[in-house]
């Protein structure tokens, strides 16, 4: 898998969080809520920063890979 540039990972994360805002009843919504809450909005502590190449969030990875294949 290719590394995701940090600014693009942050942008994708913001898009995904916006789409899932208030949807705690969906897995993605719950995941975004937990990530944002426990990281306190600090990108360096968010899920996408947990692995090399900013590949720590399955939602960001999926969105990035889908955009790259289009």
**Boundaries of every domain in the chain:** 6-68
Residue carrying structure tokens 């920063």: 49
pLDDT at 67: 82
Q: What's the CA gap between 44 and 57, in Å, rounded?
A: 13
The answer to whether 62 and 9 have CB atoms below 8 angstroms apart is no
> In the structure, what pLDDT confidence band is assigned to residue 69 with cuts at 50, 70 and 90?
low
Residues 13-66 have pLDDT tens digits of 999 999 999 998 999 999 999 999 999 999 999 999 999 999 999 999 999 999
pTM value? 0.88
Residue carrying structure tokens 């937990």: 34
Q: What's the CA gap between 66 and 30, in Å, rounded?
A: 22
């Amino acid at each position: 898998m290719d590394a995701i540039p940090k600014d693009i990972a942050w942008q994708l994360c913001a898009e995904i969080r916006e789409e899932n805002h208030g949807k705690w009843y969906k897995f993605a919504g719950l995941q975004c809520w937990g990530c944002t809450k426990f990281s306190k909005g600090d990108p360096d502590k968010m899920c996408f920063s947990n692995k090399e190449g900013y590949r720590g969030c399955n939602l960001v990875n999926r969105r990035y890979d889908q955009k790259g294949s289009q």
